[in-house]
Structure 1
Amino acid sequence: MSDIESDQSANEELFGTATVVARTGLTAARIRMWEKRYGAVEPQRTETKRRLYTREDLQRLSLLRSLTDAGHAINRIAAHPLDRLRSLAAEEAEVVRRSQPTADSRVLVVSETGNALLGDDSSVDFEWSCPFATLQDALDSPAVPGADLLLIETDTLFEETLDSARLLAERTGARRTLIAYRFATRELEQSVRGDNPDVILLHGQRDAGRLRRECVFQLEALTGRSDMPDAGAIPERLFGSAQLAKLANISTAVDCECPRHLAELLKGLSAFESYSEACEDRNKDDALVHAYLHRTTAQARRSMEDALQHLLKAEGIELG
């Protein structure tokens, strides 16, 4: 150790770059960039130009890493005093704390079926209630309970259904709405899926297991606590089983078997999509995996359906 290092160490605890890297999780290159470009820290130097960081430098770098991970731009916060960085970090911690799903995460159900819609499953870590049979009942009520998620059951889906659902979401504070329905126009479905990321459409049979799985998936997605990547919404199917069966036996003008091959692939994807949707859920993590598999398979199925549509157009094939 040089004389300068000895004198400094006697008055203040100093840390080398390797120690700072280990304690903050930042790379040495990132630390140097923040120092040079933004003046985040001003390390001391030995006679051999080796950087030495104080305990306050270490704290600043740790806070800056946490805040940039949370979305703050380094160029906006690098020059903040330590107390301000601590205050921002405390605010971020409070946001995270409030967003964590707990056993008190609430799902408000609107359904004529009542609480039976979601069945009886004590393994899920959210609470639900169904005080209203219809959307109009909920909107007419002088007291509507708060909710993190809305689940609305309806036979038909119209524009006015969506308008009422939006009003109810505002009154309850719900951040996302699930609508389980049987009938709607293709135009309306496409409009909702394209323009309303906080409205999730669930078409078809209302199975309690499927609905519980969807509620778990959406609550986890809202808080970012799930390790599962966001696979997007579940697209509607463009080809029915009868159409795929017809394509499996069709011949084309150029003797191309691609329609048959694509039809077979789509039949397999559709079968696995239905299987993953219907899989038994033993716990919350199991439900999340099945919901993720359902979504990724549905997205793959849609990509293949789009490819098949282009092929049929190129081949001049009409299914009727």
Structure 2
Amino acid sequence: MESKDLVSDDGRITYRSGVAARLAGLSPETLRVWERRYNLSNVERSARGQRLYSAEQVRRLSLLKQLVDQGHAIGVLAPMSVDRLQELAGAAAGRPKAAGPLKVGVVGANLARRIAASNRDGSDLVVQHSWSHLDQVALTSPLADVEVLVIELSELHDSALPLILSAARACDGAAVVVLYRFCASATIRALRAHACLAARVPADVGELLSLCRSALAGDRLPPAPPLPTSDLRFDEDALFNIMASGSGLACECPKHLADLLLMVGSFERYSAQCASRNEDDAQLHNELGRAAGQARVILEAAMERLARADGLPLPPGLIK
């Protein structure tokens, strides 16, 4: 059995990597990845070549784990001193923890509706204001009654950053959660640098509630033929109607298929925007977009068959 600690020649207690990982709340695999990618610690080695961690190094690992769990990026934290890590952790601990329902402002055509449909008792997230488009928020007078501003942008580009910051200012310093399906790493880093919590669109509102609480607590990638978008048969409204309507089927296939269509459609649009903004790889992005469009057409045909067979709501253009 692995001993808990070793005593070095100068009397200091050191820990083997497996023990150090457990004391810090990490898995040994995560510690190995962090060490390999970010060279976190200038550790000693035993006579047998085992990595040995001092108590101070274990404390540093524990602070890193705590801050990563709060939403900070390990790549940003890795070069920081222990004092700076402790300062960040202390600032987060000193913020009031959210309790009870959260008052939110939401940006996204269907987000408020999804929140309302998922709050069975209406007490988890209270939608104070909602907007269909991001640029509408800054036109509203200061909104002191919003604790968390939740912004959903399926295809998130850096061009949205000024509007996101303007919206945050209009909400009088509210915490900001930005949800996306596709986004460049550089844009995510820019959002985090402005204290925004950026995350993929969650599968359910329960996950969104956790994201909002984390954000409030401060816890913190030659032109081709046009893409086949004109034959869109199920827009986002139609898909959310299907997801909300329930099904006579014992499984949740309609919901899962609708979610797949949302993802594929979002990636199709995202690729089109990349192609128009980057001449160097426009052809590649057009090919990616066409592939996504072809997949969408196949999935839409399957969704239409499923909707007709199960009596699910169809968009007006498909009602016969």
Which interval holds the TM-score relative to the shorter structure? 0.3 to 0.5
The two structures have a TM-score, normalised by structure 1, of 0.40
The two structures have a TM-score, normalised by structure 2, of 0.40
Larger radius of gyration: 1
